[in-house]
Amino acid sequence: MRARTSIIVLGLALALLPLARAESAQPPAFATAQRIRVIVDNDFGGDPDGLFLLAHLLLSSSTDVRGIIASQHHATGFYGHPGTPAHAHEQASALLRLVAPNLAPRLVLGSATGLADRQTPADSAGARLIVQEALRDDTTVPLYVLCGGGLTNIASAYLLDPRIASRLRLVWIGGPEHPGHAQPPPGAGNVEYNLSIDRLAAQVVFNISAIPLWQVPRDAYRQALVSTAELSARIDAHAPLGAFLLGSLDDLLQRAQGSLGEAYVLGDNPLVLLSALQSSWERDPSSSRYVELPAPLINDAGAYEPNPAGRPIRVYTTLDTRLLFEDLYAKIHRFDHPRSPTP
C-alpha cells in the first residue's frame, strides 16, 4: 500500500512539474530598441485623453521621449479646468512622477497664447525645444512631433527656424473631414475643436510650411471610441496608474453631470499607434489606412480650400483600434502588475 501511495504521489508531482516551471518562468523580454525620437505636445489639462496618450507613450519602449510640451487649451477652459499651459504642466507632472520621474526635466511649457499673426512666433520653451531637437546633428534617429491639440508650438518653431521642416515629421490630431472622404458628425461646430485653438498656427503649418504631415482628422480620431464599461473591465482602478487614468476620466464625467454618455473618444492615443506601433520591416503604421492628398489651404474661417499645388500629406481614414486599445491595456497592466500575466 505504501509503495502504491508513493508511486501515486510521485506521479502527481511529475505531472505538476511543468505547471510549476511555467508559473516560475519569466516572460520573454522582447528586446526593443528606441527606433524614433518623440516630442509630444498636448493640452494635458483639458480633455483627459491627453493623459491616456502620455501614459501610453511613456510605456512604449521603442520611443525615445525627448520632450513633453504642456500647451494651451481654449481660454475658457474645459469643464471648469483652466485652459492654461501651467495647468497642463501640473497634470503632466503628476503622471510623470508616477510613471517616469526621470523625464520630469523634459517637461516644458508651451505658449500661453496663440499666434498674433502668420509671421511672428509665439516664443516659448516648447517651441525652442522643438527647434533644438530637430537641428541636432549627432543622431539619425527620426524625429516625430506628436500634437494632440493646437498647433501653436510647432508653427512657432517653424517661424523661429524653417530648417526644421526637413528634419522632423508632424503627426496631428485635428482638422475637419476632407470633402469626398467623410461627412461631419451631427451637430459639428463651425470649426474643428483642435484647429480652433489657434487658426493662425494651422494656417502656418498647412499654407506656408513644408513640414511633412500625417493628419488624423475628426472622422478618424473619433474612431478611438471606447465604453466606460470596457475601461473599467480592462484597467485596474485599484492600481496606481489605473486609478490615476480612470480617475481623470471620472472627474470629467462627474463635472459633465453624466451628460457625456457611457462611451468616450480617447482621440489622442492614435498618436502612439502611428509612431510607436509601426511594422518591423518597411517601417510604417501598416495596419491603419490613409489617403495622400495635396495639403489644402486653411482659410480664416477654419475651413479647407482646395490647393492642387499643395505638398502631399497623409490623411488617415481608418485606424487599427484593436492594436491601439489592446496595446494600451496590456502596457497599463504590465506597469501596475509587473509580476502578473496580462489577462
Cell numbers found for residue 324: 491601439
- The pLDDT score that the predictor gives to residue 268 is 98
- The pLDDT score that the predictor gives to residue 13 is 46
Q: Is there a domain that residue 62 lies in?
A: yes
Q: Is there a domain that residue 3 lies in?
A: no
Q: Is there a domain that residue 342 lies in?
A: no
Q: Is there a domain that residue 177 lies in?
A: yes
Residue 323 maps to which CATH number? Answer: 3.90.245.10
For 8, 89, 268, the CA distances from 41, given in Å and listed in that order, are 64, 11, 11
| Number of residues that make up the chain | 343
The 3-class SS string of the chain reads: CHHHHHHHHHHHHHHHHHHHHHHHCCCCCCCCCCCEEEEEEECCCCCCHHHHHHHHHHCCCCEEEEEEEECCCCCCCECCECCCHHHHHHHHHHHHHHHCHHHHHHEEECCCCCCCCCCCCCCCHHHHHHHHHHCCCCCCCCEEEEECCCCHHHHHHHHHCHHHHHCCEEEEECCCCCCCCCCCCCCCCCCCHHHHHCHHHHHHHHHHCCCCEEEECHHHHCCCEEEHHHHHHHCCCCCHHHHHHHHHHHHHHHHCCCCCCCEEECCCCHHHHHHCCCCCCCCCCCCCEEEEEECCEECCCCCEECCCCCCEEEEEEECCHHHHHHHHHHHHHHHHCCCCCCC
pLDDT by residue for the chain (343 residues), tens only, comes to: 555 545 444 444 444 444 444 444 566 768 788 899 999 999 998 889 999 999 999 999 999 999 999 999 988 889 999 989 999 999 999 999 999 999 999 999 999 999 999 999 999 999 999 999 999 999 999 999 999 999 999 999 999 999 999 999 999 999 999 999 999 999 998 899 999 999 999 999 999 999 999 999 999 999 999 999 999 999 999 999 999 999 999 999 999 999 999 999 999 999 999 999 999 999 999 999 999 999 999 999 999 999 999 999 999 999 999 999 999 999 999 999 998 776 6
Q: Is there a domain that residue 81 lies in?
A: yes
Q: Is there a domain that residue 27 lies in?
A: no
- The pLDDT score that the predictor gives to residue 45 is 85
Phi and psi (nearest 5°) for 337? -135, 70
Q: Is there a domain that residue 10 lies in?
A: no
Q: Residue 228 and residue 136: Cα distance in Å, rounded?
A: 42
Q: Which domain holds residue 41?
A: 36-336
Number of domains composing the chain: 1
Cell 464599461 belongs to which residue?
229
Global pTM reads: 0.91
CB atoms within 10 A of CB 28: 6
Q: Is there a domain that residue 206 lies in?
A: yes
Q: Residue 185 and residue 250: Cα distance in Å, rounded?
A: 25
Side chain identity, residue 196: S
